[in-house]
Amino acid sequence: MSDRAPSRGEQVRQRLLDGEESALGELYDRYAPLVHGLAWRITDDQDAAEQLTREVFGTLWQHPHALGAAAGPLRPRLAELTRRLAAGPLDPRDLLRPQHPLGPQDPTDREESAGREDSLGPDEGLRRQVLECCLARRAAERPLPPWAAPFAAEAAKLDALLRDLGPGEWQEVAELPWHGGTQRWRPAQVLCHLAAVDGYLAPALGLPDPVPGAGQGAGPRVPEQHRPDDVLGRTRSLIEDRRHSAPTEVRELWRRQGLDLLRAAGSGADGGAPVDYGFALLPLADAFLDRAFECWIHGDDLARAVHYPYAPPAPQHLRLLVDLAARMLPHLLAALPGSSPGTGRLLRLVIDGPASGEWRIPLDGADDGRPPTAEMVLDGLEFCYLAAAHRDPDQLPVGRQGDRAAIREVLHAVPLLSRP
């Protein structure tokens, strides 16, 4: 048995095979000059070289076995993959069959040789394009139920932002609005908040809760006896516990917990298992969508604070998030003071844009099949921002038809779905 320590390249390769999103950024940072330089020489065109670079790293993200399982330098494997993709699309099965074996004398076969890469480096903006393109789709090697895929994508996207933060940016204060006010936290504190709420899912998956003392000696909780204040309490507890930790250590806590949640979800977790949020019970599938929603919104909050471009969720994921909010609205409306069960009012919600679709929202109880009394049309992203209390319901561009009072009632109720 060899006791040789794995090289840096082998470590990154294994992490990519394990589905770790941060390994993708490290792989890009180290090898993008090689891939882009070779792509330029093959295509002799800047746009084509950038497209080929995106294709190479997108292939590695979806099919990490393309790097091979055996130990050895990555440079020749990446060079070969670049040449093969330049020749045309590849069947994923072909990625396991090298067409041009490279011997040890090949000039590219020097893993650590080049502090020098090809002199023509990729444009700085290409890195962000590549990562956003890759992270909008999950790695094929990690099987996930559809309800967990949005969380995987949003956590990976946020992790890519965090990786780019400099020391000064970790000290910036982000504003996180919700219907009860605005929290002002630094990035590490935002991560404590996300980890604290992610911890609600831990018991349903047999994982430890990251919040100190959470759940110790307590029996089943009665949701009606708890309020959203419990979320802030858990957050403050974790912030206090980690007050002496470096931001990168907090990032690692949050990132590791997210990976554990996703691995558990991909191992046959029951999407109908109840998750106790303290103030509400959600099935595990909806809880994962809720975590994707909050991860995106607070990632957007952080990006705004540090002036970092941040992409919205992929259209197929955004539609799932819109659907979650639309399904929760009737329960919220029924619990509001002054609701009139049995009157049969119904609103037809029409979502435009990438998440387009239609939903029937009963305003006073169950949907009894009656024609809608009102119709509301708005963009899917704007609907989600409204549900996060990041938009003023009176200033939102909305198409309206029918009962204007009912439409106004719904617009003002949607932000109540938000919480700290």
pLDDT tens for each residue of 276-302: 988 789 999 999 999 999 999 999 999
Amino acid at 351: I
Distances (CA, A) of 72 to 61, 116, 357: 19, 20, 49
Q: How far apart are CA 363 and CA 352, in angstroms?
A: 21
pLDDT at 89 over 80: no
The torsion of the CA quartet 208, 293, 62, 86, rounded to 10 degrees, works out to: -150
Q: What is the pLDDT of residues 177-217, one digit of tens each?
A: 999 999 999 999 999 999 999 999 999 999 999 998 765 43
Using 50, 70 and 90 to split pLDDT, how confident is the model at 420?
confident
Tokens at 155, concatenated: 């956590």
Q: What is the pLDDT of residue 72?
A: 62
* Span of 86-100, 199-213, 325-339, 370-384 with lowest mean pLDDT: 86-100
Q: What is the pLDDT of residue 94?
A: 64
φ, ψ for residue 211 (rounded to 5)? Answer: -80, 125
- B/e letters for 309-348, b = 16+ CB within 10 Å, e = fewer, are ebbbbbeebbbbbbbbbbebbbeebeeeeeeeeeebbbbb
Q: How far apart are CA 126 and CA 133, in angstroms?
A: 10
- DSSP-derived letter for residue 370 is P
User: Secondary structure of 237-296 in the HEC alphabet?
Assistant: HHHHHCCCCCHHHHHHHHHHHHHHHHHHHCCCCCCCCEEECCCCEEEHHHHHHHHHHHHH
Residue of 356 and 120 predicted with greater confidence: 356
Per-residue pLDDT averaged across 386-402, rounded? 96
Using 50, 70 and 90 to split pLDDT, how confident is the model at 121?
low
φ, ψ for residue 208 (rounded to 5)? Answer: -75, 145
Share of the chain above pLDDT 90, in %: 53
pLDDT at 344 over 80: no
- Burial (Cβ within 10 Å: 0-12, 13-18, ≥19) of residue 88: exposed
* Span of 62-71, 199-208, 216-225, 359-368 with lowest mean pLDDT: 216-225
Distances (CA, A) of 177 to 226, 298, 387, 389, 417: 21, 9, 11, 6, 12
Per-residue pLDDT averaged across 91-110, rounded? 47
Using 50, 70 and 90 to split pLDDT, how confident is the model at 319?
very high
Q: What is the pLDDT of residue 383?
A: 98
Using 50, 70 and 90 to split pLDDT, how confident is the model at 398?
very high
Q: What is the pLDDT of residue 342?
A: 58
Q: What is the pLDDT of residue 187?
A: 98
What is the three-class DSSP state of 221? coil
Residue pair 17/141 in contact (Cβ under 8 Å)? The answer is yes
Q: What is the pLDDT of residue 357?
A: 95
- Burial (Cβ within 10 Å: 0-12, 13-18, ≥19) of residue 14: middle
Using 50, 70 and 90 to split pLDDT, how confident is the model at 69?
low
- DSSP-derived letter for residue 113 is T
Per-residue pLDDT averaged across 311-331, rounded? 94
pLDDT at 132 over 90: no
What is the three-class DSSP state of 164? coil
Q: What is the pLDDT of residues 218-271, one digit of tens each?
A: 444 433 333 445 899 999 999 999 999 999 999 999 999 998 999 899 888 999
Using 50, 70 and 90 to split pLDDT, how confident is the model at 113?
very low
Residue of 166 and 214 predicted with greater confidence: 166
Q: Report the chain's mean pLDDT, rounded to a whole number.
A: 83
Q: How far apart are CA 325 and CA 327, in angstroms?
A: 5
pLDDT at 12 over 90: no
- DSSP-derived letter for residue 168 is T
Distances (CA, A) of 128 to 42, 81, 160, 304, 306: 23, 21, 9, 16, 15
Q: What is the pLDDT of residue 153?
A: 86
129's enclosing H/E stretch is helix 124-135
Per-residue pLDDT averaged across 33-55, rounded? 90
